[in-house]
Amino acid sequence: MAAANVHVGTSGWGYPSWKPEFYPKEVKTKDFLRYYATKFNAVEVNYTFRRMVSEKAAAGWMQETPPEFHFAIKAHQTITHIRRLKNTEESVKRFVETLRTLDSAGRLGPVLFQLPPNLKCDSGLLRAFLASLPPKLRSTFEFRHESWFNDNIYGVLSDHNAALCIAENEELLTPDVHTADFSYYRFRKPSYGPDELRSIAKRVRERSEKGRVFAFLKHEEDPQSAKWAIEVLDQARGEAA
């Protein structure tokens, strides 16, 4: 069923300021993830950009969430921003090792490689980096310089079944191009109206007919993004008009 291919959530879950509009007043901070997982079936973990996830933390996450819940993980900054995809063999190996617990349990979503805004298109660099990744790693790339948006790059991604991260914000809109057997969206605009949310849900629902879809709304101190994500998930699953 297409609905089983729909994975929607927010970027992160540990926001005390989401009380009481999203998290009920009585829910303790340590129980945020357990409650979050009653509303969503996926989350994008951003803190792994600066800190590796421990085996203990990953095991704890899985205990707090149902078996169908997935964790999308942002790649560590050493890989994307410090080494800028060059000479990353050891960094990638170390990072991927931290994901073993989630991966072996079937709970690992895509790994998001978010590139710096000043890193311009380099198809050779991308191809070499993709060739260095474990073949079964589901990877998605968020390019933040418009020079990357071309058919050559789409071909490189497709050759490795890597997804173009379709991100939208106030500064840059990624073309709605799909290069893998799954799709990955990041919706980062400051606000979304009802028509925009319906449009997002339609896009997610239509893509779910072709494979798994992961879609995450922005992380903010304001709980509104979580409310928007609930609407998108319900509508994409066909549970709302």
In tens, the pLDDT along 181-213 reads 999 999 998 889 999 999 999 999 999 999 999
At 193 the pLDDT is: 94
At 240 the pLDDT is: 37
User: How much is the CA Rg of the chain, to the nearest whole Å?
Assistant: 17
Taking residues 132-157, report their average pLDDT.
97
**For residue 204, which amino acid is it?**
V
* Residue 224 structure tokens: 């509104």
Q: How far is CA 151 from the centre of its chain?
A: 23
Report how far residue 213's alpha carbon sits from residue 135's, in angstroms, rounded to the nearest whole number: 20
Taking residues 124-142, report their average pLDDT.
96
**For residue 209, which amino acid is it?**
E
Percent of the chain with pLDDT over 90: 91
What integer best gives the mean pLDDT of the chain?
A: 95
Q: Do 90 and 62 form a contact (C-beta atoms < 8 A)? A: no
Q: Who's near 32: CB < 8 A, 6+ residues apart?
A: 13, 14, 15, 23
At 202 the pLDDT is: 96
Instruction: Report the chain's terminal Cα–Cα distance, integer Å.
Output: 19
Its sign, for the CA torsion 63, 68, 74, 79, is positive
Secondary element (H or E) of residue 113: strand 108-114
Which domains, and CATH codes, for the chain?
A: 2-236 (3.20.20.410)
Taking residues 106-121, report their average pLDDT.
98
* Residue 61 structure tokens: 């996450």
Residue 227 pLDDT > 70, yes or no? yes
Q: CA angle at residue 44 from 56 to 31, to 5 degrees?
A: 55
At 239 the pLDDT is: 53
How do the residues of the chain divide into helix, strand and coil, expressed in percent and rounded to 5? 40, 20, 40
Peptide bond into 116 cis (omega under 30): no
Q: List helix spans (H) across the chain.
A: 32-36, 55-64, 77, 89-98, 100-104, 123-132, 151-159, 194-208, 224-236
Comparing CA positions, the residue from 59, 65, 69, 50 lying closest to residue 108 is 69
Report how far residue 239's alpha carbon sits from residue 3's, in angstroms, rounded to the nearest whole number: 10
Express each pLDDT in 22-74 by its tens digit: 999 999 999 999 999 999 999 999 999 999 999 999 999 999 999 999 999 99
How deeply is 204 buried, as exposed, middle or buried, from its count of CB atoms within 10 A (0-12, 13-18, 19+)?
A: buried
pLDDT class of 241 with cuts at 50, 70, 90: very low
Residue 128 pLDDT > 60, yes or no? yes
Taking residues 136-152, report their average pLDDT.
97
Residue 1 pLDDT > 80, yes or no? no
pLDDT class of 75 with cuts at 50, 70, 90: very high
Pairing verdict, β 42-45 and 182-187: unpaired
Residue 18 pLDDT > 90, yes or no? yes
